[in-house]
Amino acid sequence: MSEDGETARVWCDGCYDMVHFGHANSLRQAKAMGKYLVVGVHTDEEITMHKGPPVFNEQERYRMVRAIKWVDEVVEGAPYVTTLETLDKYDCDFCVHGDDITMTADGTDTYHIVKNAGRYKECKRTQGVSTTNLVGRMLMLSKEHLQRGDREYAVDRRCSQDMSSDPSTKSPWTGVSQFLPTTSKILQFSNRTEPKKTDKVVYVAGAFDLFHIGHLDFLEKAKELGTYLIVGLHTDPVVNRYKGFNYPIMNIHERTLSVLAYRCVDEVVIGAPYAVTKEMMDHFNVAVVCHGQTPVSEDLGGTDPYAEPKQQGKFVTVDSGNTLTTEILVERILARRFDYEERNRKKEAKEAAAYEAFVKSKQEQS
């Protein structure tokens, strides 16, 4: 065991279902408390027993967590309740978790053992995002609405969702709150390194909404074509134009942090133009421009947004081998609407009861 915090081995664990920038931010904070970060990820069976059905299967979740740039090692099938034996087995000095609470099916704090042993530290939970929150946003969508395309209704609805959680989840930890983007938060996620003259710069652009395993597979394949990967993120109105009135589900600030969390990404252009121009390619010294297997929507005026890189012979279509899209992910949630609504409801009830007990305990101590 290390006495020095700078050389400590740190343990984190969780479901990491629909891995988002809130998860990444907690792992970033945990890594800052030591030198080596070990992350335990629970199985589908354990999550279903204690919390409800996960959106992503365990193999997808293991892979997503491994790709986050602050993670040094992933332990598959980590126990739902964190024990001293687990910390000792992986030679970890202490466990880190956010300042909310995680409970078993019977309402027991999953960290009570390490807390009592003094081998537990807390980091700040990222306000405005959680898996419950994101599932809730998707549950607010409907196929009828997508097909009807009622613009005024859709814009009003999307604006009411923007940076807020599902109104059905009002617990103190995952209830309605705002994600407030700041320059310091972007700097915390940024690599802060510019491409070297010897780098071969690869550029990709898109929405990257609800960052998922399909996005990760595509970006890692694109990165193999060069040495420095730049991801251009389209603005919310642009995404809304080519994807439909219910998108994007995550706003551009949330999408920026989600993409920056992955080690294959070197830089992000926030609000990238839809058409890849000669000026932009020259500015970033782009050698390769990539797009996946999904159809490319025309730019305003019916032009091809990739006309310039195609003309320069620098355009490549990348087959990631993964057909998952954000739209398919949303359909996956909607197909099991009742299961996920029930999961969210139970989680809220457990958290509300735990928070009430927490407040009462604080009052008795004061």
- Is residue 121 within 8 A of residue 12, CB to CB? The reply is no
Q: What is the pLDDT of residue 275?
A: 97
**Residue 155 reports pLDDT greater than 70:** no
Q: What is the pLDDT of residue 141?
A: 63
User: Strand 286-291's sheet: what is its strand order?
Assistant: 267-270, 228-233, 201-206, 286-291, 315-317
C-alpha–C-alpha distance, residues 48 and 43, integer Å: 9
Question: Of the ranges 192-196, 270-274, 288-292, 313-317, which one carries the lowest mean pLDDT score?
Answer: 192-196
- Count other C-beta atoms under 10 Å from residue 188's C-beta: 15
C-alpha–C-alpha distance, residues 162 and 134, integer Å: 11
Residues of each domain in the chain carrying CATH 3.40.50.620: 5-123, 183-317
For the stretch 315-366, pLDDT in tens is 999 999 999 999 998 888 888 777 777 766 766 666 666 666 666 766 777 6
pLDDT band per the 50, 70, 90 thresholds, residue 177: very low
Q: Which residues pair with 315 in a beta bridge?
A: 289
- Is residue 97 within 8 A of residue 125, CB to CB? The reply is no
Average pLDDT of the segment spanning 202-220: 97
pLDDT band per the 50, 70, 90 thresholds, residue 99: confident
Highest-scoring range by mean pLDDT, 8-12, 16-20, 242-246:
8-12
- Is residue 201 within 8 A of residue 314, CB to CB? The reply is no
Q: What is the pLDDT of residue 166?
A: 39
pLDDT band per the 50, 70, 90 thresholds, residue 305: very high
C-alpha–C-alpha distance, residues 257 and 342, integer Å: 29
Could you write out the DSSP letters of every residue in 175-209?
A: SS------HHHHHHH----PPPTT--EEEEEE--T
* Percentage of residues in the chain having pLDDT higher than 70: 79
C-alpha–C-alpha distance, residues 92 and 74, integer Å: 13
Q: Which residues pair with 11 in a beta bridge?
A: 38, 95
Average pLDDT of the segment spanning 154-174: 39
Mean residue pLDDT of the chain comes to 84
Q: What is the pLDDT of residue 128?
A: 63
**Residue 306 reports pLDDT greater than 50:** yes
For the stretch 74-86, pLDDT in tens is 999 999 999 999 9
**CA distances in angstroms from 183 to 228, 230, 290, 334, 340, listed in the order given:** 23, 19, 28, 35, 34
Using DSSP, state whether 85 is helix, strand or coil: helix
For the stretch 241-258, pLDDT in tens is 999 868 898 889 999 999
* Percentage of residues in the chain having pLDDT higher than 90: 59
Token pair for 255 = 């999408």
**Residue 148 reports pLDDT greater than 60:** no
pTM of this structure: 0.81
Question: Of the ranges 137-146, 207-216, 282-291, which one carries the lowest mean pLDDT score?
Answer: 137-146
Q: Which CATH class for the 5-123 domain?
A: alpha beta
C-alpha–C-alpha distance, residues 176 and 193, integer Å: 35
CATH topology of domain 183-317: Rossmann fold (3.40.50)
Average pLDDT of the segment spanning 198-221: 97
